Amino acid sequence: MLISRRVLRQQYECFRRYLGNVTPYYAIKANPHPEIIKEFIKLGSGFDVASANEMKLVLGLGAAPDKIIFANTIKSSADIAFAHKHKVQLMTFDNEPELYKIAKSSPGANVLVRIKVENIGSTVELSLKFGADPEQAIFLLKKAKTLGLKPLGIAFHVGSQCLNVKNYLNALSVSFEIFAEAEQLGLPLEMLDLGGGFPIRHFDDDKQISFQNIAQAIKKKMVRLFSPKVKFIAEPGRFFVGPAGTLVTQIVGRTFRNNKNYYYLNDGVYGDFSGIVFDHCRYEYKTLRRGQKFLSTLAGPTCDSFDTISPNEDLPELEVGNVVYVKNIGAYSCASAVPGFNGFPPARIIMV
């Protein structure tokens, strides 16, 4: 797995160029490799963590506590206490019982209520599991205040790999209505977390909406709806690290089955192609060989039929030892790989 430092910087600078009024907090679940985190620390990024272990990792690498958001709406009391001990004060929640846990284990913490918003057209729908109904937001913010917490604002997530800009625009409208109602009730809010979901291209000929166009639409609506005093943050993960990764695999076996070439690679869905399972990813498989293409199947190395990477790919005739590589695979690949299933380790990560 080759990770390009140059592309990491390009993606960060692209985000800052087109969404300059939004502070990014890199979602390290996308790829928590220490060298990637160090690169984003140098660039000035904040970090989105979901557990004490992720928090411990970024703090240990030099991230400042005030540049970390504990953005898991369901946290263990022990993890909340860890955050409090290490001065990580910004957290999300989406239910009343969570507030009692936060108030007990991290008194005085800054909190954002995560609301459920539309995830139409997103590859991974996150509203199925997280987010309070918007009509509950005011009650929850008031409850946070009565418990001695500091209700700073709203958070939402439009779903991962979001290709529908209306998800963002509708979520901004819903958030503005909550901001306005809170203001009338003497509970002024000062922060809006746009979450992640910013898309990347997985195929060279993808014709999907660009990040630039999404960012322009978001920024225009934010400026129109919200006071300049509101602080905007976001949690890009895939957008920052996905394009930086290239996975280079090798064919370790081949056969002819079901009237197709079968190629067995030294990586599979239990390894760095885990994004196929956990992230619903589709990848573009490339080779160094040219020539007539034939319908082929790519499979992983484990003794499990589930470990089939792609049943139908048009590929040239390949031999054992040939290379098959995939670009734009830096996110949700090695991060969710099973370490050592069947004795096969994930790919070695090389920073270039």
pLDDT at 161: 80
- Return the minimum-mean-pLDDT range out of 12-16, 105-109, 277-281, 287-291: 277-281
CATH number for position 308: 2.40.37.10
Q: Is the pLDDT of residue 313 over 90?
A: yes
- Residues 52 and 115 occupy one common structural domain: yes
pLDDT at 279: 82
- Type of residue found at 303: C
pLDDT at 89: 97
CA 191 – CA 67 distance, rounded (Å): 14
CA 119 – CA 163 distance, rounded (Å): 10
Mean pLDDT of all residues in the chain?
A: 93
Q: Is 303 one of the annotated active-site residues of the chain?
A: yes
- Residues 16 and 55 occupy one common structural domain: yes
User: What is the 8-class DSSP label of residue 181?
Assistant: H
**H or E stretch covering 40:** helix 34-43
- The one catalytic residue among 14, 162, 281, 303: 303
pLDDT at 205: 84
CATH number for position 105: 3.20.20.10
Per DSSP, the three-state class of 220 is helix
Q: Is the pLDDT of residue 259 over 70?
A: yes
- Residues 271 and 174 occupy one common structural domain: no
- Return the minimum-mean-pLDDT range out of 90-94, 148-152, 207-211, 235-239: 207-211
- Residues 77 and 130 occupy one common structural domain: yes
Residue at which a domain ends, from 236, 264, 280: 236
pLDDT at 124: 54
pLDDT at 130: 81
Residue at which a domain ends, from 236, 266, 287: 236
pLDDT class of 218 with cuts at 50, 70, 90: very high
pLDDT class of 127 with cuts at 50, 70, 90: low
pLDDT at 125: 56
pLDDT at 207: 79
- Residues 231 and 345 occupy one common structural domain: no
pLDDT at 126: 55
- Residues 216 and 248 occupy one common structural domain: no
Across the range 90-117, mean pLDDT stands at: 96
> Which residue range forms the structural domain that includes residue 345?
244-351
Across the range 338-343, mean pLDDT stands at: 90
- Residues 179 and 65 occupy one common structural domain: yes
pLDDT at 63: 97
CA 288 – CA 18 distance, rounded (Å): 35
- Residues 207 and 278 occupy one common structural domain: no
- Residues 261 and 216 occupy one common structural domain: no
pLDDT at 128: 60
Across the range 340-349, mean pLDDT stands at: 91
Six-digit token pair at 76?
A: 């263990």
pLDDT class of 206 with cuts at 50, 70, 90: confident
- Residues 79 and 180 occupy one common structural domain: yes
Which residue matches tokens 């997280």? 130
Across the range 99-105, mean pLDDT stands at: 97
Residue at which a domain ends, from 176, 211, 236: 236
- Tell me the CB-side half-sphere exposure of residue 305, using CA atoms within 13 A: 0
pLDDT at 66: 96
pLDDT tens-digit profile of 160-171?
A: 787 788 889 999
Number of folded domains in the chain?
2
- Residues 249 and 214 occupy one common structural domain: no
- Residues 193 and 297 occupy one common structural domain: no
pLDDT tens-digit profile of 262-301?
A: 999 999 999 999 999 988 888 999 999 999 999 999 999 9
